[in-house]
Structure 1
Amino acid sequence: MSRDRSQLLTAIERGEREGGSVEFKERLSKDVHLSDGRLESLTAQLRHRVLSGDGEAEYVVGVTDEGGIAGVSRDVFSESMDVLSLLAEEAGAHIDDVQTWGTDEGGLVGVATLRDGAALTPDDDHIIVGTAGHVDHGKSTLVGSLVTGDADDGDGGTRGFLDVQPHEVERGLSADLSYGVYGFDDDGPLRVRNPDRKDERAAVVENADRVVSFVDTVGHEPWLSTTIRGLVGQKLDYGLLTVAADDGPTKTTREHLGVLLATDLPSMVAITKTDLVSEERAMEVTREVERLLRDVGRTPLPVARHGVDVAVEEIGDNVVPVVQTSAVSMEGLDVLDELFERLPKTAAAGGEFRMYVDRTYKVTGVGAVASGTVKSGTVEAGDELVLGPFPDGEFRDVEVRSIEMHYHRVDHAEAGQIVGIALKGVREQDVERGMVLLPKGSDPTPVREFEAEVMVLNHPTRIDAGYEPVVHLETVGEAARFDPADGQLLPGDTGETSVRFKFRPYLVEEGQRFVFREGSSKGVGTVTNVPE
């Protein structure tokens, strides 16, 4: 929080007045202030304030109509900023800066500076890193310390902002995908100092020359399918596997490594929690990881021995850099910083726009929002798209109302960026994970069945005709029937099989890779033929 209250006191002293550029709001609520009629009037009010200030206005949030300090909770302040951002977009303006101060009662009061003109278009180099690792191996904590620059308290304190559900925070276990972001400019890392502030994440996207987004997956065995979704369904540039020095590689470590390798994702390994063990134990676990990598045909590259230059040059092509780290002592985090600043983007940006839907939600006053990673091409606000397939196999026309990346409104998005796209022409309850957004005029043909080459990684007996695992392809997670061409597949076998979705069609294309799982059975595959 800003310690200097001069901006707040000056704004309150200037006060609300006709023809002025200051507006007082105790709070802004999506349910109330974005309802029918209110959106238009508040947008007009905001536009008036910006014009009255020659292109700049100040909204003081957490004060009464008379300018008295009321204070609001962090959640209310965050929602107020979301609403203000939507109002600003409607008025052709954007939030340029937000300063907050604490009240004696523990609440927040803040001043948001708005400027004329739409949100800036990001012109950054953007890489996406998918994390994996066994539960309690420090995966989310490591990401938290990277994006904030803060050492952990030894109890997972820096991981808290990545958990998106109340029960996750309470239990200390992630149960769904979560996201983090930081970046780099000419002066070094740009951290998110206060992760609860969505505007700080947006500022990273706006100001960084290189943006690093983390897709933080789930380490607990019951949610392995969610981890697979995060690693297969996002257009990742790199994988980051964590192994705790006080525990070493586990069965889950091997499973997550198998998924990373099955997707041909250039990956690295972070040995975490080195502050809890002796140097000898840390080296013992490092050697275990190196043996594990060699067992699956990969070459470990200890960065401490060979240096960052070699790691950047050699990652991929079967080479896996290994770094010892501690979120408590901050050991090795400078090495990861340098890697993430220098590693080249691997996702190609060309081709026709395509985004598989991973999440959906509704914003009052905006409507349905589809979230996911842009797989190819570019998309702009105002573009006409098609969305589907719906259960009947049809695609429907939709229009892009707005695009947001890490709470920053952008004019366009391109391949490899995680975005939320507000859609006009569809209800939120009709948008489902596994659907895809394509340019209008496309002629997509969804299918129920396709041919694939699969490799069985683990199975207790054999796979016969009629076997029904869950197939994870892009963001699709659907039960499907296998009918092997040779009648059966044994553990370790590679062979051809037909794959038929059990309940509905999806958009599938040759060359797409997928993971299948059923109980302890797991395997990987590649689509080889999609019938007309």
Structure 2
Amino acid sequence: MSRDRALLQRALDRGEEDGGNVEFKERLSRNVHLAEGRRESLAAQLRHRVLSGDGEATYVVGVTDDGGLAGISHEAFSESMDVLSLLAEEAGAHIDDVQTWGVDREAGVSRNGAGDDGLVGVATVCDGAVLETDDEHIVIGTAGHVDHGKSTLVGSLVTGRADDGDGGTRAFLDVKPHEVERGLSADLSYAVYGFDDDGPVHVRNPNRKEDRAAVVEDADRLVSFVDTVGHEPWLRTTIRGLVGQKLDYGLLVVEAEDGPTRVTREHLGVLLATELPTIVAITKTDAVDPARVAEVEREVERLLRDVEKSPLSVSRHGVDAAVEEVSDTVVPIVQTSAVTMEGLDVLDELFDRLPKTADDDGEFRMYVDRSYSVTGVGAVASGTIKSGEVEAGDELLVGPMPDGRFREVEVRSIEMHYHRVDHARSGRIVGIALKGIKESALERGMVLLPADADPDPVREFEAEVMVLNHPTRIGDGYEPVVHLETIGEAAAFHPDDGRLLPGDTGTTRVRFKFRPYLVEEGQKFVFREGRSKGVGTVTDVSPVE
């Protein structure tokens, strides 16, 4: 019997008892179980079950009163979880975890999520309301050359543990088997830690969602990392991480042995093109002598001055100066080692004290970065909220679809670093479960908006661009990939003067090759094709015809 199957069997074996914490329900429906009088009664029953279980109750849904496997449809199970969530909220509790199994009435319970006749599920309901997210929360995007210790540094920061010298703490962020095997990150990873009055609140094991959720719940101030990709073939993923998220700060790593490389310069260019306040961490200082560390710091200072930025050595000027001066023009430099933990206390103090960049209090907006499907919940859109706030139950629009239209959806629930929240606001990295759309219809680059919004998706827009690198000239019809928010789409350039040379700044018309997107004036973007790279700002948009 599998471990997951054993969870269901234990709940069925315990059964319903007057003084127990297990409750059987075949299904819960809005019309019946949320009706006047019934809602209060069921919330009181739930509260009793939670108290009987010392703060935790188990609801088995899709079974008869005597524990027989009935199985209900995916739609009925989703509605049951919605109702259970509302009952839990009224009882001062929240749903902490849901596991489901498919039911074949002839064969019994089959593998997780399979079965011909429906679903049966176990919901764990815990005491305490869902997390409020009004505390300060900064989001940091990391960048740097492959093997320069970026993921290892973040792993040591969030766990508070020294690395073993072989990148052991990196394993907390490399989420795919081939990444762990090769020691390379191939997609964006996310990590979180926080602070309270006693200092850092670390994650015991970032790979356990319960441990990450505990930090979100316990910390007074949160720091989320969007850990990007250092290997050159995946530069487009790094650009997506830095351009497509609502970041407060950038963290650029430079290895003490290698010093700045061409990839370092490219990543720095993307960070600065987005006008993101950035900190440079010189890593692996334990592997070289102090003279080499000082030499690399001077190289970094020269690199920053070359792009008209002012370096600020924290070892010389102190943390107070770094906190006060960091901006899109002043770049603090910190010497670090994940093995000896040198400099990590400095980064901790910086991240604890750095001000949150101004929140955008406008209407809710979130560009979709990832989508996935959760059995019993449905389609989930993940991304960073760019502006405004969202609550469970809100009606939204999502799109544009390939034909330019938007779909109406409803927010089932919201999660932040595996902790369910009742609302979230600008700057939060969240997963939003949506009712009214299948996961297969969601695509990266789509946007979530309020239901009363009147969006005009575009195929074409005008932009002011600067060519950072190009072997010859950019002529009419040049087709790079444009990275704007989470959009990554081939587009044709039509420069006003017919061409743009390396180092040129000029105006061009940009037309997406395949489909429309929601684009607005003032948005920054990066474009690349091979070794050709540049940055731009949207200056004018035209609704699709």
Specify the alignment match of 1:122 in structure 2: 133
Q: Is the 8 A contact 2:412 2:433 kept in 1?
A: yes
Determine if the alignment matches structure 1 residue 348 to structure 2 residue 359.
yes
Match of 1:520 in 2: 531
Call closer, same or farther: CA 1:148–1:485 in 2, change over 3 Å. same
1:216 Cα deviation from its structure 2 partner: 0.1
1:89 is matched with 85
Instruction: Report Cα offsets for 1:122-167 as digits up to 9, x if no partner.
Output: 2210100000000000000000000000000011111112112111
**In the alignment, what sits opposite 2:17?**
18
Sort the Cα spacing of 1:87 and 1:135 in 2 relative to 1 into closer, same or farther, 3 A: farther
| Residue segments in structure 2 that go unaligned for 5+ positions in a row | 1-9, 34-40, 60-80, 98-122
Q: Name the stretch that deviates more: 192-201 or 255-264.
A: 192-201
Q: Report the CA distance shift for 1:59/1:154 in structure 2 as closer, same or farther (over 3 A).
A: farther
Contact 1:347–1:416 at 8 Å: present in 2 too? no
Deviations 1:250-271 (A, max 9, x none): 1100000000010000001000
Sort the Cα spacing of 1:384 and 1:326 in 2 relative to 1 into closer, same or farther, 3 A: same
Cα distance in structure 1, aligned partners of 2:512 and 2:126: 50
User: SS at the partner of 2:298?
Assistant: helix
Change in Cα spacing, 1:488 to 1:184, as seen in structure 2 (3 Å) is same
Query: Residue 52 of structure 1 corresponds to which residue in structure 2?
Result: 49
Aligned to 1:66: none
Pick the aligned partner of 1:509 from 513, 520, 523: 520
Q: Output aligned runs, 1:292-441, within 5 Å.
A: 292-441=303-452
How far residue 246 of structure 1 moved from its aligned partner, in angstroms, is: 1.4
Change (3 A) 1:142 1:38: farther
- Superposed CA deviations along residues 341-366 of structure 1, whole A, max 9, x for unmatched, are 00001142310000000000000000
**In 2 relative to 1, CA 407–498 (structure 1 residues): closer, same or farther, beyond 3 Å?**
same
Structure 2 counterpart of 1:54, one-letter code: L
Q: 1:444 to 1:49 in 2, by over 3 A?
A: closer
Q: Provide the TM-score with structure 2 as the length reference.
A: 0.82
CA distance in 2, matches of 1:175, 1:211: 25
- What CA distance in whole angstroms lies between the structure 2 residues aligned with 1:435 and 1:152? 38
The answer (yes or no) to whether the contact 2:56–2:127 under 8 Å persists in 1 is no
Q: Does 1:476 align with 2:482?
A: no
Q: What amino acid is aligned across from residue 152 of structure 1 in structure 2?
A: D
Distance 1:265 1:279 in 2: 30
- Provide the rounded CA distance (Å) in 1 between the counterparts of 2:498 and 2:522: 23
Preserved contact between residue 361 and residue 387 of structure 2 (Cα < 8 Å): yes
The corresponding residue for 1:72 is none
Q: How many Å separate the matches in 2 of 1:119 and 1:253?
A: 41
CA contact (8 A) 1:232 1:475 kept: yes
In structure 1, what is the Cα distance between the partners aligned to 2:474 and 2:208?
50
> Contact 2:360/2:387 (CA < 8 Å) preserved in 1?
yes
Q: For 2:276 and 2:400, locate their aligned partners in 1 and report how far apart those are by CA, in whole Å.
A: 28
DSSP 3-state at the match of 1:287: helix
Partner of 2:172: 161
- After TM superposition, give the deviation of residue 378 of structure 1 in Å: 0.6
What is the Cα deviation at residue 199 of structure 1?
Answer: 1.4
- From the superposition, tell whether residues 23 and 385 of structure 1 become closer, same or farther in structure 2 (CA, over 3 Å): same
1:143-162 equivalence runs, <5 A: 143-162=154-173
Q: How does 1:217-296 map onto structure 2 within 5 Å?
A: 217-296=228-307
- Report what 2:223 is aligned to: 212
Q: Secondary structure at the match of 1:351?
A: coil
Residues 91 and 152 of structure 1: is their aligned pair in 2 closer, same or farther, counting only changes over 3 Å?
Answer: farther
Q: Is the 8 A contact 2:28 2:84 kept in 1?
A: no
Residue 442 of structure 1: how far off its partner (Å): 0.5
Contact 1:149–1:191, Cα closer than 8 Å, also in 2: yes
Q: CA deviation at 1:117?
A: 5.4
Which is worse superposed, 144-153 or 85-94?
A: 85-94
- Paired letter, 1:393: G
| Deviation by residue 1:81-131 (Cα, 9 ceiling, x = unmatched) | xxxx9997365132689xxxxxxxxxxxxxx98544541322210100000
Letter matched to residue 409 of structure 2: V
Residues 16 and 22 of structure 1 are in contact (CA less than 8 Å); yes or no, is this contact kept in structure 2?
Answer: no
- 1:32-68 deviation line (CA, Å, top 9, x unaligned): x9xx96788xx9999956523537544699xxxxxxx
Query: Is the contact between residue 272 and residue 328 of structure 2 (CA under 8 Å) also seen in structure 1?
Result: no
The answer to whether residue 208 in structure 2 is matched with residue 197 in structure 1 is yes
What TM-score do you get using the length of structure 1 for normalisation?
0.84
Q: 1:17 to 1:236 in 2, by over 3 A?
A: same
Change in Cα spacing, 1:87 to 1:222, as seen in structure 2 (3 Å) is farther
Q: C-alpha distance in 1, partners of 2:455/2:94?
A: 36
User: Contact 1:456–1:490 (CA<8 Å) still a contact in 2?
Assistant: yes
Q: In the aligned structure 1, how far is the partner of 2:450 from the partner of 2:456?
A: 14
**Cα shift at 1:302:** 0.3
Distance 1:395 1:277, change over 3 A: same
Residue identity over aligned pairs, in percent, reads 73
SS at match of 2:51: coil
State the match for 1:75 in structure 2: none
Alignment partner of 1:228: what SS? helix
Structure 1 residues 202 and 50: CA distance shift in structure 2, 3 A: same
Residue 529 of structure 1 pairs with residue 528 of structure 2:
no
Does structure 2 retain, via aligned residues, the 8 Å contact 1:173–1:220? yes
Q: Distance in 2 between matches of 1:322 and 1:501?
A: 39
- For residues 275 and 352 of structure 1, do their structure 2 counterparts lie closer, same or farther at Cα, with a shift above 3 Å needed? same
**AA paired with 1:494?**
T
3-state SS, counterpart of residue 249 of structure 1: coil
- SS for the counterpart of 1:200 is helix
Task: Find the aligned partners of 1:522 and 1:96 in 2 and give their Cα distance.
Answer: 45
Aligned equivalents of 2:42, 2:535: Cα separation in 1: 56
SS at match of 1:307: helix
> What are structure 1's unaligned runs of at least 5 residues?
1-10, 25-32, 62-84, 98-111
Q: Which amino acid aligns with 1:160?
A: A
The separation in 2 between residues aligned to 1:407 and 1:88, in whole angstroms, is: 18
Q: How many residue pairs get matched?
A: 472
Distance 1:230 1:39, change over 3 A: farther
Contact 1:21–1:57 (CA under 8 A) maintained in structure 2:
no
Measure the CA separation in 1 of the matches of 2:269 and 2:175. Answer: 26
2:463 aligned residue (440, 452, 475) = 452
Between the aligned partners of 2:333 and 2:82, the Cα distance in structure 1 is 43
Q: The residue matched to 1:503 in structure 2 has which SS?
A: coil
Kept after mapping to 2: 8 A contact 1:182/1:211: yes
Shift of 1:403: 0.3
